[in-house]
């Protein structure tokens, strides 16, 4: 892709590359002052926005540009999945250096287009400008039938705590990436999960439609950072059984446990289910493992159980940009 | 305000400072994975997002922090006004250096809160992270009764072209600011317009409800950049009478004309009206001047008329980050 002479040309190129042929769901997309959007009758809109910044969230020299395009949309869409909703359209605020408007932008838009198609989520607008580093702010608009939304605040003491997939896998992928000298594509599962995470939209929707999850959120900063947020919102504590954590295989069990507790970027769903509904939660949802890892408790402490029956506080050490 | 130890504390402080007491319009705001939003029955949502970056859009050493807070929301809300809609809620993506989390953030949130109250627009969520410079991405969600939205594409040859307020005033304010050595508050009208622009929400709504505007947009990059965009969207040309431009007084007329044609950041409304409705456009809307500056034409050229009856092309030289 050539470099751009002005902003209008850049916007036109983005629209041309990312927009799928069908955009019937949007009343009005790119090219006006703003976009128009209306959820289906009986549905409400879900709004979320995420940063994805060069240097903080990705490295231009290490992360393939199509991973940056995929991931910036996928991780924002994960917040919609965490409410039980369906992503519908998105706005892209993109600030790039002129030297990234050629080949890098081409790769980025390719990854973004793949994510948009995979999620059935249409580009509706945004803003472009120039900057020294690549700055991305993605806004996803989703929808959910009124009353089906699953909040972080709905958990009660005694509810069982579940998580999807494998925890710590993306963090392991990031460590592999850091060790390499060059930019690589996803060559194994962990690296693929770090570069091309899959928001758990189908699972979130399934749990929401059946009203099985009492509280839900996605694990983005790491279990030890995110679980306390769910607990605070629900006014409860939690105890997790470290022996039940869905660990990554093929690495030492201590490392795997450390990664599962504190590793970020997995975008798995963490959800709670009342005891009477526990039998309705399958061990596998499609090809995704669902694992019961603990339960909510009275009080406000987040703890780990140990084999001798004692409980220890769970230290918070997931990802925090201000720590 | 003290500096923050972690992201959760920062989010809590932002919510505490910016949220007004009443937030009844939002189903669910800050503190969950995403926000829930539903427009009134019969209305559709309007979505827009804008960059506001240190170094490009403002200078931390020159612009007062409360102006940064005010303006980042006001300029995004202007896109909602330009569709004829009402701003309702917004998402704030804020990335800041740790050294800006104290006094600077305090001033910023004060200005943001004033803008949110003035526009009756509620903070619904967003994302915070750390960065070397202050990076702001604001998303405004508005609403408009279905079918009342005014697009850029509705103009026809022969429609009359109007603009609100004074053009070039904000650019003049910016030049005053650049000349000073220190950070100053808005001490005159031009500086005030640069620092604390007023989106023309009431005018946009009035024109949309009465179906008086056939096409509309806001003037953000300068008339010479923005008018061609309206013309392209409508498939028309335009001719403007430079003698009719609402010029800034107190500076030379050549400078004032140059500023009016190419100065950015005014956030006035540029709109077109069919000839049969021209009599319904008042010279003043509340305390805001409305000026007829030209008309739409067949063909695709954007021109200026001159006293001897000839027409010259209007050179495009408004603000473009890629030029």
**Mean pLDDT of the region A232-238:** 97
* Residue A172, C-beta contacts closer than 8 angstroms, at least 6 positions apart: A190, A194, A248, A251, A259, A263
Closest by Cβ to A130, choosing from B10, B37, B321: B321
Residue-wise pLDDT for B241-281, tens only, equals 999 999 999 999 899 999 999 999 999 999 999 999 999 99
Closest by Cβ to A51, choosing from B44, B80, B127: B127
* CA-based nearest residue in chain A for residue B57: A129
Closest by Cβ to A47, choosing from B7, B35, B98: B35
* CA-based nearest residue in chain B for residue A270: B33
DSSP string, A200-235: -HHHHHHHHHTT--SEEEEESS-HHHHHHHHHHHHT
- Residues from chain B contacting residue A8 (CB–CB below 8 Å): 229
**What token pair was written down for A123?**
């580009």
CATH 3.90.650.10 domain extents, chain A: 152-313
- Please give the C-alpha separations between residue B116 and each of A117, B58, B77, B238, B280, in angstroms, as whole numbers: 35, 20, 10, 36, 32
At B5 the pLDDT is 67
Cβ contact, residue pair B83, A32, below 8 Å: yes
Label residue B20 by pLDDT band (50, 70, 90): low
pLDDT tops 60 at residue B219: yes
- Residues from chain B contacting residue A89 (CB–CB below 8 Å): 47
The fold adopted by the segment(s) A152-313 is Phosphoribosyl-aminoimidazole Synthetase; Chain A, domain 2 (3.90.650)
- Residues from chain A contacting residue B83 (CB–CB below 8 Å): 32-34, 36
At A323 the pLDDT is 66
**CB-hemisphere CA count at 13 Å for A210?**
13
Cβ contact, residue pair B322, A48, below 8 Å: no
Mean pLDDT of chain A: 92
Closest by Cβ to A127, choosing from B34, B49, B95: B49
Long-range pairs of A59-63 with CB within 8 A, sequence gap ≥ 24:
A60/A100, A60/A104, A60/A133, A60/A134, A61/A183, A62/A177, A62/A178, A62/A180, A62/A183, A63/A177, A63/A183, A63/A195
Highest mean pLDDT among A31-35, A96-100, B317-321: A96-100
Whole-number Å distance between alpha carbons of A170 and B131: 23
pLDDT tops 90 at residue A38: no
> Is ipTM beyond 0.95?
no
The nearest CA of chain B is from the CA of A213 a distance in Å of: 15
Percent of chain A with pLDDT over 70: 93
The nearest CA of chain A is from the CA of B70 a distance in Å of: 19
**Mean pLDDT of the region A99-108:** 93
**CB-hemisphere CA count at 13 Å for B24?**
2
pLDDT tops 80 at residue A30: no
What pTM was estimated for this model as a whole? 0.93
* CA-based nearest residue in chain A for residue B137: A137
At A313 the pLDDT is 92
Whole-number Å distance between alpha carbons of A188 and A248: 13
* Residue A66, C-beta contacts closer than 8 angstroms, at least 6 positions apart: A107, A108, A110, A111, A114
The nearest CA of chain A is from the CA of B174 a distance in Å of: 19
Closest by Cβ to A34, choosing from B6, B79, B101: B79
Whole-number Å distance between alpha carbons of B217 and B151: 8
> Of A238 and A3, which is predicted with more confidence?
A238
- Residues from chain B contacting residue A79 (CB–CB below 8 Å): 33-34
Cβ contact, residue pair A47, B36, below 8 Å: yes
Cβ contact, residue pair A125, B45, below 8 Å: no
**Mean pLDDT of the region B20-36:** 69
Cβ contact, residue pair A48, B128, below 8 Å: no
CATH 3.30.1330.10 domain extents, chain A: 7-145
- Residues from chain B contacting residue A139 (CB–CB below 8 Å): 47, 49, 91, 139
Label residue A1 by pLDDT band (50, 70, 90): low
- Residues from chain A contacting residue B126 (CB–CB below 8 Å): 49
Residue-wise pLDDT for A251-294, tens only, equals 998 999 999 999 999 999 999 999 999 999 999 999 999 999 99
pLDDT tops 90 at residue B154: yes
At A278 the pLDDT is 97
At B53 the pLDDT is 97
Q: CATH top-level class for A7-145? A: alpha beta
Cβ contact, residue pair A91, B128, below 8 Å: no
At A186 the pLDDT is 60
Going by the DSSP 8-state scheme, the letter that residue B40 receives in this structure is P
Cβ contact, residue pair B149, A36, below 8 Å: yes
Closest by Cβ to A45, choosing from B45, B80, B323: B45
Label residue B223 by pLDDT band (50, 70, 90): very high
Cβ contact, residue pair A35, B51, below 8 Å: no
* CA-based nearest residue in chain B for residue A6: B322
* CA-based nearest residue in chain A for residue B316: A6
pLDDT tops 80 at residue A36: yes
Closest by Cβ to B7, choosing from A34, A130, A320: A320
At B199 the pLDDT is 98
């Amino acid at each position: 892709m050539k470099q751009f002479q002005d902003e209008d040309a850049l916007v036109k190129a983005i629209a041309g590359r990312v927009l799928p042929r069908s955009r019937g769901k949007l009343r009005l997309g790119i090219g006006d002052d703003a976009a128009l959007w209306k959820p289906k009758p009986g549905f409400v809109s879900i709004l979320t926005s995420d940063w994805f910044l060069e240097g903080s969230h990705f490295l231009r020299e290490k992360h393939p540009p199509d991973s940056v395009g995929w991931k910036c949309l996928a991780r924002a869409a994960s917040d919609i999945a965490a409410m039980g909703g369906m992503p519908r359209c998105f706005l892209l605020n993109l600030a790039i250096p002129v030297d990234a408007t050629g080949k890098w932008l081409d790769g980025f838009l390719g990854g973004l287009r793949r994510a948009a198609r995979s999620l059935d989520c249409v580009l509706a607008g945004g803003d472009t400008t120039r900057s020294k580093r690549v700055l991305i702010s993605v806004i996803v608009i989703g929808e959910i039938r009124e009353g089906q939304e699953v909040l972080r605040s709905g958990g009660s003491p005694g509810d069982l705590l579940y998580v999807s997939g494998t925890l710590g896998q993306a963090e392991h992928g990031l460590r592999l990436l850091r060790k390499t000298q060059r930019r690589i594509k996803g060559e194994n599962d962990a690296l693929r999960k770090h570069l091309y995470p899959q928001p758990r939209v189908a699972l979130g929707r399934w749990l929401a439609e059946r009203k099985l999850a009492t509280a839900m959120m996605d694990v983005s900063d790491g279990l030890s950072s995110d679980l306390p947020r769910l607990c605070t919102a629900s006014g409860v504590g939690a105890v997790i059984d470290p022996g039940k954590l869905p660990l990554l295989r093929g690495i030492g069990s201590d490392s795997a446990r450390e990664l599962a507790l504190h590793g970020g970027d997995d975008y798995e769903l963490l959800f709670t289910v009342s005891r009477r509904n526990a039998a309705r939660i399958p061990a596998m949802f499609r090809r995704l493992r669902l694992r019961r890892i603990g339960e909510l408790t009275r009080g406000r402490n987040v703890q780990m159980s140990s084999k001798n029956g004692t409980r220890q506080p769970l230290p918070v050490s997931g990802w925090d940009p201000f720590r």
